[in-house]
Amino acid sequence: MKRPLIRMFGLGSSMLLGGLSVWLSAGFSREAPTPAKPAGLRVEDGAVALAPDAPQWQALKLGVVTTADTRWTDPVPARVAIDETRASKVQTPLSGRVSRVFVELGQRVHPSQPLFSVTSPEIADLRAAREKAGVDLEVARAGQDRVHALVLTRALPAKEELLSQQQLKEAEVALRVAAAKVDALRVSEKTDNEFTVTAKSAGIVVEKNVLIGQEVAPDGSSAQMVVADLSSVWVLADLFESDAGEVREGTSALVSCPSVPGLQAEGKVDMVSAVVDPGRHTVPIRVRLANPDGALRPNIYARVRFATESAAGTVEIPATALITDGTRQYVYVRDEAGRFARRPIVAGPSSDGRVPVLSGLAPGETIVEEGGLLLDNQVGLGA
């Protein structure tokens, strides 16, 4: 009697479970609800139409396509250097040993300010030459007086007096030259063969290659010091060959320095090298820049951008207006009906947030400068 009851119970359980499975499967097999279309927006033939009160307007920014007159290149690394036309090398006029140094690197100096002193045995030779020139002058004067007296007595012809006068003038010149050499060194007669080298002009000591006890000589290969006027500096940059063609002498340049926040100084290119660096294949560019407050110090790092003329007929748009799918570039243009249609374009490289458009747009057309991706997504969904 128990077996039939068990079979009936098993059969009932199976039917109950089967019914539950059918109900659950029916519940989960319902079609997904169709997403609601954005209010006030519709897509017509690939163009997006927005109602005047559509909320999407808050995410859009419109603008007018303008002609590209001048555009700035991307920043390139540069460095600040002294203006060599405003710098002077300081060298010792005589060989000797440095005995004193009066200034330090980076110190401001004025004309005739002492820079360093040198003890030189050559000063004794200069003094001896001055004394000899003085003796020769006295001899020439005595000789001229004697010849003059003989000419008056007609013991000598008049031409002898002319010759003695010439010798006297030569002796006077020799003494002046010998004395000027000693005076130029500003050597005190009380010192022991020491002279002082002074600054030729006002400026900053930008190079110092002298120490106490160092042997120095008046060779032209190196200078003991360099004093430069930093009211004008050079900014030196190296451009790749492909980029240097757009930069010429007189091109405007905009210089900034990370170490000088807020600095935006404009200058002019005054030299484009005619020779390409053989190792790096770059072209040296030099910008002359006014530096009245001295904010630009020699050797600091800088960035420079150059103003280049755009090709005739080129227009530009904000970089935020450009949309790309990896192979094509396009923007959304507002048509006469007020709709926004996708327009393929050919754009150049972005610079300072602006993009030159080589083809596809005309000046005066209205485009979506910001929010174009919102419209692009709706076109893709076919809203």
Give the pLDDT confidence of 22-80 residue by residue, as tens digits. 444 545 455 555 555 566 677 877 788 888 888 888 888 999 998 877 778 888 999 99
Query: Reduced to 3 states, what is the DSSP secondary structure of residue 149?
Result: helix
Q: Report helix angle 122-152 to 158-184, nearest 10.
A: 160
Provide the residue count of the chain. 383
Q: For residue 374, is it within any domain?
A: yes
Question: Which is more confidently placed, 127 or 216?
Answer: 216
Q: For residue 55, is it within any domain?
A: yes
The H helix count followed by the E strand count for the chain is 5, 25
In tens, the pLDDT along 137-172 reads 888 888 888 888 887 888 788 888 888 888 889 888
Average pLDDT of span 237-251: 88
pLDDT at 298 over 90: yes
pLDDT at 281 over 80: yes
At 17, the pLDDT band (50, 70, 90 cuts) reads very low
Number of domain units in the chain: 3
Average pLDDT, the chain: 83
* Closest residue by Cα to residue 82 from 229, 199, 195, 212: 229
Q: Which pLDDT value is given to residue 291? A: 92
Q: For residue 159, is it within any domain?
A: yes
In tens, the pLDDT along 204-228 reads 999 999 999 999 998 767 889 999 9
| CA–CA distance, 13 with 358 (Å, rounded to integer) | 76
At 382, the pLDDT band (50, 70, 90 cuts) reads low
pLDDT at 301 over 60: yes
- Strand duo 260-272 + 282-290: pairing: antiparallel
| CA–CA distance, 59 with 53 (Å, rounded to integer) | 13
| CA–CA distance, 278 with 303 (Å, rounded to integer) | 23
| CA–CA distance, 381 with 383 (Å, rounded to integer) | 5
- DSSP percent split of the chain into helix, strand, coil, nearest 5: 30, 35, 35
Q: For residue 317, is it within any domain?
A: yes
**Domain end call among 309, 329, 349:** 309
Q: For residue 14, is it within any domain?
A: no
Residues 285 and 234 placed together within one structural domain of the fold:
yes
User: What is the extent of the structural domain holding 243?
Assistant: 76-84+228-309
Q: Which residues, at least 6 apart from 95, have a Cβ–Cβ distance to it below 8 Å?
A: 120, 122, 215, 216, 217, 218
User: Which of 119-128, 136-145, 212-221, 356-365 is predicted with the least confidence, judged by mean pLDDT?
Assistant: 119-128
How much of the chain, in percent, has pLDDT values that exceed 70? Answer: 85
pLDDT at 2 over 50: no
Q: What is the dihedral of CA 90, 93, 98, 103, to 10 degrees?
A: -30
CATH at residue 368: 2.40.420.20
Task: Please give the C-alpha separations between residue 176 and each of 127, 171, 183, 186, in angstroms, as whole numbers.
Answer: 12, 9, 10, 15
Using CB atoms within 10 Å of the CB of residue 256, give its burial: 0 to 12 exposed, 13 to 18 middle, 19+ buried.
Answer: middle
Q: For residue 286, is it within any domain?
A: yes
| CA–CA distance, 93 with 115 (Å, rounded to integer) | 14
* Closest residue by Cα to residue 255 from 243, 246, 263, 244: 263
Q: For residue 354, is it within any domain?
A: yes
Q: Which pLDDT value is given to residue 327? A: 85
Q: Which pLDDT value is given to residue 282? A: 93
pLDDT at 90 over 70: yes
Q: For residue 338, is it within any domain?
A: yes
CATH at residue 155: 1.10.287
pLDDT at 194 over 60: yes
Residues 255 and 293 placed together within one structural domain of the fold:
yes
Residues 320 and 285 placed together within one structural domain of the fold:
no
At 101, the pLDDT band (50, 70, 90 cuts) reads very high
Q: Are 310 and 71 in contact (CB under 8 A)?
A: yes
Q: Which pLDDT value is given to residue 37? A: 56
| CA–CA distance, 41 with 295 (Å, rounded to integer) | 55
| CA–CA distance, 166 with 174 (Å, rounded to integer) | 12
CB atoms within 10 A of CB 335: 13
